[in-house]
């Protein structure tokens, strides 16, 4: 069984291996010992912070553990409020009109405007599943568990949720969008810029980024073509978020021009459809039910599984097997929150 739980210090080597495997462009997990240690420490502080009444600088990082082997096979995270300590940059794609009624000329042009519009919102991030664990519902589980956690602990998160999607780059880390910026403004390659951002060094962005809106039609054709497009490996993740109700409002990454998608937590499909009920343990009844994503209601001792359970509408209880209850660290009468793996058409 795979269990999702808070990361801890003993997971450091696994997180480092995941960072190496994730490759260039996965900004939230740069291969840097100090940063990875800091990520684990920040997560431990966030999960153990008891009195939280509004989103702040908390960073929640989870891991998926294969309980049969003890191996960590994936990770997923939530930043409670971005841009509080470090500036959070985007480009916003919009339009301006250049028109002359006297000459009967009307031209609509797209522009990219440098902004901090998403400051203070919650970001879902750092989702990566290792090669040996891909398949089945593991990837969906890593993504959707965050919505259940946020729904259960709403006071810790913003109503607006965003996700930055990895933009187009090749196997050597070359980004067509960045190459244009590099040539005219930065004089450093994409992997270097990506790494500096990942380790928290963002001062160079404000110092070197063009201060005025960029006319899209002045970019190279290659750069224009990738604005708002995702990396091949990111398409399944984008589709999953779109199914949950996320959409792009024109914001793109300042390095690779990948889209940022957003949704209100109240409207996210998994969060909206989730229920919270007390537990009854009955192996035979639970095994006959449907597969659900199930979480306990703890923060510090959070656990999540994806397995069969039955809902007794008459008694208003969630019926779990002994194995599931043990994996979640719950007993009869404790509350769980859950959502179905598949929704009815």
Give the pLDDT confidence score for residue 191 in this predicted structure: 73
Give the pLDDT confidence score for residue 179 in this predicted structure: 86
- Average pLDDT for the chain: 90
Q: Is the pLDDT of residue 135 over 90?
A: no
- Which ranges of 173-305 would DSSP assign to H, the alpha helix? 176-181, 190-198, 203-208, 221-226, 235-244, 269-273, 283-287
Give the pLDDT confidence score for residue 198 in this predicted structure: 65
d(CA 317, CA 225): 52
Mean pLDDT of 321-334: 96
Mean pLDDT of 147-163: 97
CB atoms inside a 10 Å sphere around CB 106 = 10
SS in 3 state form for 305-327?
A: EEEEEEEECCCCEEEECHHHHHH
Q: What is the pTM for the complete model shown?
A: 0.90
d(CA 86, CA 17): 26
Determine whether 231 is an active site residue: yes
Structurally, what CATH architecture does the domain formed by 274-340 represent? Answer: Beta Barrel (2.40)
Mean pLDDT of 224-233: 93
pLDDT band at 211 (very low <50, low <70, confident <90, very high): confident
Q: Is the pLDDT of residue 336 over 90?
A: yes
Give the pLDDT confidence score for residue 27 in this predicted structure: 65
pLDDT band at 251 (very low <50, low <70, confident <90, very high): very high
Q: Is the pLDDT of residue 221 over 90?
A: yes
Give the pLDDT confidence score for residue 201 in this predicted structure: 66
The CATH class for the domain spanning 2-89+116-269 reads alpha beta
Reported as a single tens digit per residue, the pLDDT across 297-307 is 999 999 999 99
- The domain limits of the chain are 2-89+116-269, 274-340
pLDDT > 70 in the chain, percent: 95
Q: Which of 40-54, 205-219, 260-274 has the lowest mean pLDDT?
A: 205-219
CB atoms inside a 10 Å sphere around CB 133 = 17
| Identified catalytic residue from 16, 106, 184, 231 | 231
Give the pLDDT confidence score for residue 275 in this predicted structure: 95
Q: Is the pLDDT of residue 227 over 80?
A: yes
- Cα angle: 29, vertex 164, 126; to 5 degrees: 30
Q: Is the pLDDT of residue 343 over 90?
A: no
Torsional class of 10: left (φ above 0), alpha (ψ -120 to 50), beta (otherwise):
alpha
Reported as a single tens digit per residue, the pLDDT across 41-81 is 999 999 999 889 999 999 999 999 999 999 999 999 999 99
Q: Is the pLDDT of residue 25 over 60?
A: no
pLDDT band at 16 (very low <50, low <70, confident <90, very high): very high
Q: Is the pLDDT of residue 344 over 70?
A: no
Residue of higher predicted confidence among 155 and 136: 155
Nearest to 80 by CA among 102, 44, 52, 100: 52
Give the pLDDT confidence score for residue 207 in this predicted structure: 76
Q: Is the pLDDT of residue 196 over 80?
A: no
Give the pLDDT confidence score for residue 21 in this predicted structure: 85
Give the pLDDT confidence score for residue 132 in this predicted structure: 84
Separate counts of helices (H) and strands (E) for the chain: 11, 15
Q: Is the pLDDT of residue 253 over 70?
A: yes
Give the pLDDT confidence score for residue 45 in this predicted structure: 97
């Amino acid at each position: 069984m795979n269990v999702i739980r808070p990361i801890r210090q003993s997971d450091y080597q696994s997180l480092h291996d995941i960072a190496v495997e994730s490759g260039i462009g996965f900004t939230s997990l740069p291969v840097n010992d100090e940063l990875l240690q800091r990520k684990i420490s920040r997560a431990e502080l966030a999960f153990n912070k008891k009195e939280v009444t509004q989103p702040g600088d908390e960073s929640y990082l989870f891991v998926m553990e294969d309980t049969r082997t003890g191996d960590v096979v994936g990770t997923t995270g939530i930043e409670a409020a971005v841009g509080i300590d470090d500036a959070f940059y985007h480009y916003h794609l919009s339009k301006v009109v250049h028109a002359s009624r006297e000459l009967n000329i009307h031209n609509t042009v797209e522009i990219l405007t440098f902004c901090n519009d998403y400051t203070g919102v919650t970001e879902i991030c750092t989702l990566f599943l290792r090669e040996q664990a891909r398949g089945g519902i593991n990837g969906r589980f890593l993504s959707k568990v965050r919505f259940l956690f946020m729904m259960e602990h709403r006071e810790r998160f913003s109503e607006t949720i965003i996700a930055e999607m990895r933009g187009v780059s090749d196997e050597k880390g070359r980004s067509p969008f960045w190459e244009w910026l590099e040539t005219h403004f930065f004089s450093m390659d994409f992997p270097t810029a990506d790494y500096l951002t990942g380790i928290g060094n963002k001062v160079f962005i404000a110092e070197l980024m063009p201060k005025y809106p960029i006319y899209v039609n002045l970019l190279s054709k290659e750069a224009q073509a990738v604005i708002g497009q995702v990396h091949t490996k990111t398409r399944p993740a984008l589709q999953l978020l779109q199914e949950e109700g996320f959409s792009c409002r024109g914001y793109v990454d300042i390095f690779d021009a990948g889209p940022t998608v957003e949704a209100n937590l109240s409207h996210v499909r998994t969060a909206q459809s989730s229920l919270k009920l007390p537990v009854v343990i009955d192996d035979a009844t639970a095994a006959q039910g449907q597969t659900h994503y199930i979480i306990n209601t703890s923060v510090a001792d959070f656990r999540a599984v994806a397995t069969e359970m039955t809902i007794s509408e008459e008694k208003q209880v969630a019926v779990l097997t002994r194995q599931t209850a043990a994996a979640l660290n719950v007993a009869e009468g404790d509350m769980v929150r859950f959502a179905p793996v598949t929704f009815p058409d």
